């Protein structure tokens, strides 16, 4: 496990997030306490796994873990308090939703939210700590499912492909089709398009009134 110090506790919780970078949808977090008597093979950073493998592992994690929970912060919250703070809130919600209170929490990244128990931030923890790997898989599968549902409602945006990240195709789709309620309006590409839309609407109204 590299040189990361693993706390000597029996109820260790791993936490990770998915969705800090996308322009649309919630930031989703997961908290997982694994059962040492039910090992799960193949746990690693969710980004290194195929979609099919992630889905299979997600089912196994839900089946074998002592407990797991998801947390989230919605676009309106992200716009209000910023993505970093919203991510911390979503992590707090995931830990609070666990059926068993952990003795220690290990979090992927370089900072920890305020929690009721000790916590350690681990850079690249999703590839080093099995509990964080499990959390990264659950969060990724959950958020991808939400993007698939959004794709069904608005196929012209291509959410199933880019998952809300600011790809060239996604930015072109926003330019063509406008901004949905699910977008994060504080994110620069969305904000610029919203401002342009507002300006053109204002100009059009001015022309009509004249």
Instruction: Please indicate, yes or no, whether residues 166 and 121 belong to a single structural domain of this protein.
Output: no
> Where among 153, 183, 199 does a domain terminate?
153
Radius of gyration, CA atoms only, the chain:
19
Closest of 2, 168, 182, 149 to residue 76, by C-alpha: 182
Instruction: Please indicate, yes or no, whether residues 138 and 168 belong to a single structural domain of this protein.
Output: no
Instruction: Please indicate, yes or no, whether residues 167 and 184 belong to a single structural domain of this protein.
Output: yes
Segment 4-14 shows an average pLDDT of 92
Position 4 in a domain: no
CA distances from 152 to 113, 146, 158, 160, 171 (A): 34, 10, 9, 9, 19
User: Does 200 have pLDDT greater than 80?
Assistant: no
Sort 64 into a burial class: Cβ within 10 Å, 0-12 / 13-18 / 19+.
Answer: middle
Instruction: Please indicate, yes or no, whether residues 160 and 149 belong to a single structural domain of this protein.
Output: no
- pLDDT tens-digit series, residues 74-101: 999 999 999 999 999 999 999 999 999 9
**Whole-angstrom distance, CA of residue 154 vs CA of residue 196:** 22
Residue that has been written with the tokens 């997600």 in this structure = 58
DSSP 8-state assignment for residue 4: P
Instruction: Please indicate, yes or no, whether residues 127 and 115 belong to a single structural domain of this protein.
Output: yes
Instruction: Please indicate, yes or no, whether residues 95 and 146 belong to a single structural domain of this protein.
Output: yes
- Ranges assigned E (strand) in the chain: 12-18, 27-33, 67-73, 104-108, 119-122
- pLDDT tens-digit series, residues 118-133: 999 999 999 999 999 9
Instruction: Please indicate, yes or no, whether residues 103 and 52 belong to a single structural domain of this protein.
Output: yes
DSSP 8-state assignment for residue 127: G
- pLDDT tens-digit series, residues 133-149: 999 999 999 999 999 99
Q: Are strands 67-73 and 12-18 parallel, antiparallel or unpaired?
A: unpaired
Instruction: Please indicate, yes or no, whether residues 102 and 79 belong to a single structural domain of this protein.
Output: yes
Position 2 in a domain: no
**Residue 161 CB neighbours (<10 A):** 12
Average pLDDT score over the chain: 93
Segment 163-178 shows an average pLDDT of 94
Question: Sorting pLDDT into bands at 50, 70 and 90, what band is 1?
Answer: very low
- pLDDT tens-digit series, residues 10-53: 999 999 999 999 999 999 999 999 999 999 999 999 999 999 99
Q: Which residues pair with 30 in a beta bridge?
A: 16, 70
User: Does 54 have pLDDT greater than 60?
Assistant: yes
Residues contacting 125, CB < 8 A, separation 6+: 4, 14, 16, 106, 107, 108, 109, 132
**Whole-angstrom distance, CA of residue 209 vs CA of residue 44:** 60
> Where among 114, 134, 153 does a domain terminate?
153
Residue that has been written with the tokens 């990361």 in this structure = 4
Asked if 71 and 30 touch (Cβ cutoff 8 Å), the reply is: yes
Give me the CATH number covering residue 88. Answer: 3.30.420.10
Instruction: Please indicate, yes or no, whether residues 147 and 47 belong to a single structural domain of this protein.
Output: yes
Segment 191-210 shows an average pLDDT of 71
């Amino acid at each position: 496990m590299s040189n990361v110090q693993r706390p000597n506790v029996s109820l260790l919780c791993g936490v990770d997030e998915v969705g800090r970078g996308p322009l649309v949808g919630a930031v989703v977090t997961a908290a997982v306490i694994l059962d040492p008597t039910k090992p799960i093979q193949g746990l690693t950073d969710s980004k290194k796994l195929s979609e099919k493998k992630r889905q299979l592992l997600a089912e196994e994690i839900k089946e074998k873990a002592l407990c797991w929970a998801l947390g989230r912060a919605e676009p309106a919250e992200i716009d209000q308090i910023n993505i970093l703070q919203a991510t911390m809130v979503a992590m707090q919600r995931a830990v609070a939703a666990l059926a068993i209170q952990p003795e220690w929490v290990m979090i992927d990244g370089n900072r920890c939210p305020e929690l009721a128990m000790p916590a350690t931030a681990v850079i690249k923890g999703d590839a080093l700590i099995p509990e964080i790997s499990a959390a990264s898989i659950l969060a990724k599968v959950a958020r991808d499912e939400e993007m698939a549902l959004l794709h069904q409602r608005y196929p012209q945006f291509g959410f199933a492909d880019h998952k809300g990240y600011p790809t060239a195709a996604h930015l072109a789709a926003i330019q063509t089709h406008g901004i949905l309620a699910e977008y994060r309006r504080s994110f620069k590409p969305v904000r610029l398009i919203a401002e342009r839309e507002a300006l053109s609407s204002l100009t059009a109204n001015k022309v009509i009134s004249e």
